[in-house]
């Protein structure tokens, strides 16, 4: 199975939300019912209008089977290093364990390499222990603690 990787179009949005919603953590906070919550459409438009953001899908035989978001962030540290950041990585549940996640991450890393980033970063919820082993096998270093603060 060789997926195609490409930037998402608006018609992909229900499939992307469905991937987020079938996830253990995502099922509590997403709603894949159509018509979609207008928050999803507003976010899609914001991502598309922001040159620092790319929403990617992986497609096999016309089916969206994976997604991730790529953010390019300029920074002063490391003598002015651009950093790439990967968020919201998902592969369809019925297609896990076949190396598709590895291909997806490799595609994202290559995009950042071509974009001149000096490093790539991501965070993964502490409950996702399989994901942690996955990233370490791919050569990533688990060097940081990730903190979140909800705003009310």
- CA 98 to each of CA 16, 28, 81, 117, 152: distance values in angstroms, whole numbers, following the listed order: 20, 26, 34, 28, 40
Site for a copy of itself in 55-74 (CB under 8 A): 55, 69, 71, 73-74
Q: List the one residue from 58, 92, 100, 117 that touches a copy of itself (CB under 8 A).
A: 117
Question: Is residue 95 at the binding interface for a copy of itself, with CB under 8 A as the rule?
Answer: no
Site for a copy of itself in 16-55 (CB under 8 A): 16-17, 20, 26, 29-31, 37, 39-44, 46-47, 50-53, 55
The radius of gyration computed from the CA coordinates of the chain, to the nearest angstrom, equals 16
Q: Is 11 helix (H, G, I), strand (E, B) or coil?
A: helix
Query: Is residue 67 within 8 Å of residue 88, measured between CB atoms?
Result: yes
**Among 57-65, 75-83, 94-102, which window interacts with a copy of itself (CB under 8 A)?**
75-83
């Amino acid at each position: 199975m060789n997926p195609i990787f490409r930037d998402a179009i608006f018609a992909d949005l229900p499939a992307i939300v469905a991937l987020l919603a079938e996830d253990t953590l995502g099922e509590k906070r997403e709603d894949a019912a159509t018509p979609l919550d207008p928050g999803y459409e507003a976010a899609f438009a914001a991502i598309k209008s922001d040159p620092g953001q790319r929403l990617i899908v992986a497609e096999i035989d016309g089916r969206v089977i994976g997604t991730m978001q790529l953010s390019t962030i300029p920074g002063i540290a490391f003598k002015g290093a651009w950093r790439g950041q990967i968020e919201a990585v998902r592969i369809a549940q019925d297609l896990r364990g076949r190396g598709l996640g590895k291909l997806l991450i490799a595609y994202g890393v290559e995009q950042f390499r071509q974009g001149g980033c000096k490093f790539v970063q991501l965070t993964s919820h502490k409950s996702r222990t399989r994901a942690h082993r996955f990233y370490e096998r791919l050569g990533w270093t688990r060097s940081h603690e990730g903190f979140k603060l909800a705003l009310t």
